[in-house]
Copies of this chain bind each other. A is one copy, B any other.
Amino acid sequence: MEREAVFSTRARQMTRSVIRELLKLTADPEVISFAGGLPAPETFPVDKVREAAEKVLREEAAKALQYGPTEGDIRLRADLAGMMREDGIDADPEHVIVLTASQQGLDLIGKVFFDPGDTAVVGFPTYLGAIQAFRSYQADLVGVELDDEGMRPDLLEKTLDRLESEDRRPKFIYLVPDFQNPAGVTIPEARRRQIIALARDRGYLLVEDTPYRQLRYAGRHQATFQSLAPDCVISLYTFSKILLPGFRLGWAYGPDWVLDKMVMAKQGTDLCSPPFTQAITHYVIESGGFREGLQHTIELYRERRRVMLESLDQELGATEGVTWTRPEGGLFLWLTLPEGCDTQELFEAAIAEKVAYVPGRAFYPPGMGGERSMRLNFSYCSEELIRKGVSRLAALIRKQLG
């Protein structure tokens, strides 16, 4: 049998996730890892989960352990619509679909929009999981560089002009507007309105992927794209960073004509998300455990972010050409070294010094950028480890810069 030839074109192009492969290297307990995107386990509301699991198994096991509707548990959909209404979105539970984590949302969006060679506009750098999901449908991702306020509307307009002149209208514009992964930047409301005006004017959909939105430690919430333009925005959310990742639950919200297709695609993908953990999540929300836990998480991460920024200021503040973003929320910041540096090359030395990060290249399609940047996570390590890890990393960078 000709092994490689039997696969689809997409599969022949597939590579393992750089980050997930890299996380295996950082499994050494001596390594202080800023590489992962892991929430801190001390934020998981274990007692509330236990109470909810007991309740579900006591009162509704026959239903919770059975198949469920593809769209999700109607009670959880109502909870989620309620949360969205508090965030200024006029949300209808019927327009919420529960996902097996927001990664499934990216996969379903890829599935329902992309024929091979179709185009989408994404920010550069952008979330690796989105690159991976969209490329698995052989989409051509066209990047618009971010600045400290996210995607630049002027560059977006130029990109759209160019794509339209080449008869390559993108299927949508993909945005991570709040504390973007990996850059940590947030799009201000005025800029959101500019991007929406551009999209509406030309008839484009926007995909708003916002896994960290509730994790704000400073500054003011900016209105969601969904609240500003419900007619043309599909929003993806996940519980992974705001409750826990181990249930693999998230949700999508958007115009019904798009959600309808996503539901059909989901039927062929996993029939439904697990009713058991959906019911548990519903009761964790109902009991107030979710809200209480989220407040605790915000306080914990606010301190860790502060410690990482302080440590960077102390250790690298005087080192010319090294810059980093100052995120108002989320899990990550983005550090950039002077011209000529290569964070991929530096990675091996970092592991030898027992500190890890994700090289910036992982957040671009191959060869398209990120060479001298790195993503640093501040949610997972304790304050003490953050100080120690930044110190190791800074020593390495200073040495590297001579």
Contacts and interface: CB of A to CB of B under 8 A. Distances in A.
Interface in A240-289: 240, 244-248, 257, 261, 263-265, 267-277
28 contacts: A1-B204, A1-B205, A1-B232, A2-B203, A8-B112, A8-B118, A11-B264, A11-B265, A14-B265, A16-B264, A16-B267, A17-B267, A17-B268, A20-B267, A44-B62, A50-B53, A53-B53, A65-B247, A67-B240, A103-B270, A107-B268, A107-B269, A116-B116, A129-B268, A132-B267, A136-B268, A246-B275, A248-B272
A11 B107 CA distance: 13
Interface string A126-142: 00010011011100000
Given A103-B269, A270-B104, A65 B46 contact: yes
B65 A49 contact: yes
Interface of A: 1-3, 6-11, 14-17, 20, 38-39, 41-42, 44, 46, 49-50, 53-54, 57, 61-68, 70, 100-101, 103-104, 106-107, 111-116, 118, 129, 132-133, 135-137, 171, 203-205, 232, 240, 244-248, 257, 261, 263-265, 267-277
A23 B176 CA distance: 37
Contacts of A70: 20
Contact of A264 (B14, B101, B240, B267): B14
Nearest to A249: B274
A274 B275 CA distance: 12
A23 to B, nearest CB: 9
B271 A274 contact: no
A69 to B, nearest CB: 8
A11 B276 CA distance: 29
A38 B66 contact: yes
Given A7-B112, A112-B7, A268-B132, A273 B261 contact: no
Contacts of A129: 268, 271
Contacts of A271: 20, 101, 103, 129, 248
A63 B244 CA distance: 11
A267 B107 CA distance: 10
Contacts of A267: 16-17, 20, 132
A114 B10 CA distance: 9
A366 to B, nearest CB: 15
A131 to B, nearest CB: 9
Contacts of A133: 268-269
Contacts of A2: 203
A60 to B, nearest CB: 10
Nearest to A204: B1
B65 A57 contact: no
Best-surrounded residue of A11, A17, A103 (most CB of chain B within 10 A): A11
Which of A14, A137, A268, A275 has the most chain B CB atoms inside 10 A of its CB? A268
A276 to B, nearest CB: 4
A348 to B, nearest CB: 23
Contacts of A263: 16
Contact of A66 (B113, B246, B276): B246
A374 to B, nearest CB: 21
Contacts of A14: 112, 261, 264-265, 268
Contacts of A38: 66-67
Contacts of A42: 62
A72 to B, nearest CB: 12
A66 B66 CA distance: 24
Given A100-B270, A248-B272, A274-B274, 8 more contacts: A3-B257, A66-B244, A104-B270, A132-B267, A133-B268, A135-B268, A246-B274, A247-B274
